Amino acid sequence: MHQRIDRDTGADRIVNQLAYRYDGLFDRDRIDTLFHDSYDRLAETAHVTVFLPTLAEKLTVQRLDALAQAEGKIAKRVPEILFVCVGNAGRSQMAAALARHHAGTRVHIRTGGSNPHEAIYPEVEQIMTETGLSLAEEFPKPLTNEVLAAADVVVTMGCGEHCPILPGRRYEDWSIDDPADQPLNRIRAIRDDIDHHVQALLAELLPAAI
């Protein structure tokens, strides 16, 4: 069992900043609970904990934004797409980067993993860099109820049976190979397969996007 983040590591400072940012939307206790839950979830797979407070803050922001949308506290301006795979370390990260590249701000993208890994596969980062797309700011994160509730379209890749089904959402399950332990040429083919699926989805959601 992982030790809960010590208050002296800056947790109070982070929660206070988030409470200020989300003033009028969520009270501090709810933010505090969500932050520590995010930290604990990320700590389950982390071998190096020095960056955990920062990653937990990023995950908490994503969860709070999604929660505010799901509860009708902020309006949705564009369709919300959630890409899910097992580790959130390959397929879902590639799909998210490609969707952002093709659609820009006309969609909002989130990702999650049913069993998130510690880090994105280096080979995946490499083949995405070849296309001019960086995953440097991304990190594997757990699939949470908040991001699922905020999604309009949920795309699963290899983990459909582990993804809860909520009414009113569009679900797609893409049959795409896992890039783990694959040679670079095979990962490039997986990337191109994902790109084909992404462009087809965006053409339906946003006919002028492609």
Three-class secondary structure of residue 186 per DSSP = helix
Residue 156 has pLDDT above 90, yes or no: yes
Positive or negative, the CA dihedral 131, 127, 140, 56 is: negative
Report DSSP state, residue 160: G
Q: Can you give the pLDDT at residue 207? A: 72
Q: Which residues pair with 40 in a beta bridge?
A: none
Q: What is the DSSP string of 154-194?
A: EEEES-GGGSPP-TT-EEEE------TT--HHHHHHHHHHH
At 68-105, the pLDDT tens digits run 999 999 988 899 999 999 999 999 999 999 999 999 99
Report DSSP state, residue 142: B
Q: Can you give the pLDDT at residue 153? A: 95
Assigned CATH topology for domain 80-205 = Rossmann fold (3.40.50)
At 11-67, the pLDDT tens digits run 899 999 999 999 999 999 999 999 999 999 998 887 656 688 999 999 999 999 999
Distance CA 192, CA 177 (A): 12
Which residue, 20, 85, 103, 13, is CA-closest to 56? 13
The stretches of the chain forming alpha helices (DSSP H) are: 11-21, 28-43, 52-70, 91-103, 122-129, 145-150, 184-205
Residue 139 has pLDDT above 50, yes or no: yes
Domain 7-70: assigned CATH number: 1.10.8.1060
The mean per-residue pLDDT over the stretch 171-185 comes to 93
Q: Can you give the pLDDT at residue 45? A: 80
Q: Confidence band (pLDDT; 50, 70, 90) for 160?
A: low
Name the pTM for this structure. 0.89
- Look-up of token digits 């908040």: 146
Which residue, 40, 12, 127, 141, is CA-closest to 83? 141
**Domain spans, the chain:** 7-70, 80-205
Q: Can you give the pLDDT at residue 2? A: 46
